[in-house]
Amino acid sequence: MRTLALYWPTLSRAVGGAAGSTAADDRAVRLRSARHALGRLSPLVAGSDTYGLIEIGIDGLQARSGSERDIAAIALRAVGVHLRKRPSAAVSSSRLLAVLLARDGAGGDEVVVVPPGEEAERLAGYPVEALALGATEYAAERMRDALERCALLGLRTVGALARTQAAALAARVGPIAGALLTLARGFDVQAIAPAPLPRRLLARASFEMPLTSLEEFRFPLRRLLDELLVRVRRDGAAVGIARLHLARERSAPVRAVARLPVPSADRTQIERLLLASLERALLRGLGDDGVVSAQLRFDGVLPATGDQLTLLGARSPRVDRLAWSTAAIAVRFGADRVLQGDVVDGDDARSERRVTWRRTHPEVQE
């Protein structure tokens, strides 16, 4: 399978405390948005927020989108609005090689394309530790132990490992030898699982008499929510993001966004977050410039995994009231105003090293 790998470099230096947590949250949100954007190019999208990697299966896209370089250009344009810095890109029949080449090309504008059949030759010069990026189904400790044994045997490069007999290697590192040899010889052993594409649902309403207060708007908002949530519940789905657009008589339109702390189809909680976002956008109220039309859109509508499994019990959002309450505060006053502390070292005398702070609801930020 031909794979396009995108690598978005993480921070150049380690940042501690609340600043580091905030930066990590921001990267995770941007990478998630970039993956959703790529879902419109290919249903095969995977990624790692920790390493700043995104992998896209591009088999079969050539007839619609052109050459592999053209596909890479389309992907880079799609993620460009979400990532501050242009990621490096590489295409290969080996997922491992595509990832390694993308990381090697960090900061470069050229897309590296490896023709089929040249994977083993391009992998040969990498240190054997690079195979850990490809065999992710194995526990990190088990993989580390196997690679240390390879180094003790003098197999310090991927090329040296690829030339080893399977039986001899298995006798020394165990059953994991088969996966290591397959990767070292340039074969793709892990397919990218299809990712469900988030759907968008839209509802509109117009008003003969302009609405001049949030109280007047509450009832039309409920009708719009009910109209969309009927379709969401019918499909056994849940909502991740709700966006509201209000057109006014004379002034610029008002936009409100509610990013839910957990995907939900609960009208009361979605309404609460939307109204909190509206209050923040309309600090002085609507005044005489009333609302003449409203548009409500649900983004990120995905299957509500786990909701229908009786063994897990009911997953009503009302169970975790604290999460929803703090999410409403984050929507109204900003995601950086609600922080959660994690104890790193309770015995450290310095408070800045004893506790790290992170945003409780990074998902509510735009």
Digit-coded pLDDT (tens) for 52-70: 888 888 888 888 888 999 9
- At 315, which amino acid appears? R
Using alpha carbons, list the distances in angstroms from residue 31 to 141, 204, 351, 365: 27, 30, 31, 14
Task: Give me 136's structure tokens.
Answer: 């992710």
When comparing pLDDT for 179 and 39, which is higher? Answer: 179
How far is Cα 143 from Cα 129, in angstroms, rounded to an integer? 9
Q: Which helix (H) or strand (E) holds 201?
A: strand 199-211
Specify the residue for token string 């189904």. Answer: 137
Residue type, 363: E
Tell me if residue 187 falls in helix, strand or coil: coil
Contact 105, 72 (CB under 8 A): no
- Domain span holding position 38: 3-116
Question: Which value, in Å, is the radius of gyration of the alpha carbons in the chain?
Answer: 25
The beta strand positions in the chain, using DSSP E, are 3-7, 45-48, 53-57, 88-92, 112-113, 199-211, 237-248, 254-264, 291-303, 339-343, 355-359
Q: Helix axis angle, 166-173 relative to 177-184, nearest 10°?
A: 130
Q: Do 243 and 178 share a structural domain?
A: no
Same domain for 317 and 219: yes
Q: 63, 75, 52, 51: which is closest to 3 by C-alpha?
A: 75
pLDDT-derived band at 364 (thresholds 50, 70, 90) equals: low
Q: Is residue 364 part of a domain?
A: no
Q: Same structural domain for residues 324 and 251? A: yes
Distance CA 294, CA 61 (A): 38
Sorted by sequence, the CB contacts under 8 Å of residue 34 that are 6+ apart come out as: 6, 8, 54, 78, 79, 82, 83
75 shares a domain with 41: yes
Same domain for 110 and 128? Answer: no
Mean per-residue pLDDT, 180-196: 77
> Taking Cα atoms as reference points, which of 90, 92, 89 lies closest to residue 116?
92
Range from 30-39, 116-125, 302-311 carrying the lowest mean pLDDT: 302-311
Is 239 strand, coil or helix?
strand
Which has more pLDDT, 81 or 274? Answer: 274
Two structure tokens written together for 23: 């930066």
Cβ proximity of 295 and 203 under 8 Å: yes
**In degrees rounded to 5, what are phi and psi of residue 110?**
-80, 140
Nearest to 256 by CA among 238, 279, 239: 279
**Total tally of structural domains belonging to the chain:** 3
Tokens of 43: 């249903």
Query: Does 313 lie in the same domain as 203?
Result: yes
d(Cα 334, Cα 328) in Å, to the nearest integer? 10
d(CA 317, CA 341): 23
Task: Give the residue-averaged pLDDT of 35-50.
Answer: 79
User: 314 and 207: one domain?
Assistant: yes
80-136 pLDDT tens trace:
888 878 889 999 988 888 888 988 876 577 888 999 888 889 999 999 888 887 766
Q: Based on the number of CB atoms within 10 Å of its own CB, is 208 exposed (0-12), middle (13-18) or buried (19 or more)? A: exposed
User: Does 203 lie in the same domain as 330?
Assistant: yes
Compute the C-alpha angle 107/111/117, nearest 5°: 130
Phi, psi of 335 (to 5 degrees): -65, -25
Gap between the Cα atoms of 177 and 175, Å rounded: 5
Report the mean per-residue pLDDT for the chain. Answer: 79
Do 92 and 135 belong to one domain? no
Q: Are residues 210 and 296 in the same domain?
A: yes
CATH number at residue 178: 1.10.150
Residue 166 near residue 12, CB atoms below 8 Å: no
- Residue 219 included in any domain: yes
Looking up residue 91, the CATH number of its domain turns out to be 3.30.70
pLDDT digits (tens, 9 = 90+) for 198-221: 677 899 999 988 888 888 888 999
**Is pLDDT at 337 greater than 80 in this prediction?**
no
Clarify whether residues 291 and 231 are in a common domain: yes
Picking from 116, 145, 171, the residue at the C-terminal end of a domain is 116
Q: Tell me, what CATH number does 266's domain have?
A: 3.30.1490.100
pTM for the full predicted model: 0.57
Q: What is the mean pLDDT of residues 16-40?
A: 71
* CA distance linking residue 290 with residue 249, whole number of Å: 6
The residue whose two tokens read 């609960």 is 266
**pLDDT over 60 (residue 310):** no
Q: Residue 251 domain-assigned?
A: yes
Over range 320-338, report the average pLDDT.
Answer: 72
**Are 131 and 227 contained in the same domain?**
no
Q: Determine, yes or no, domain membership for 361.
A: no
Mean pLDDT throughout 69-79? Answer: 90
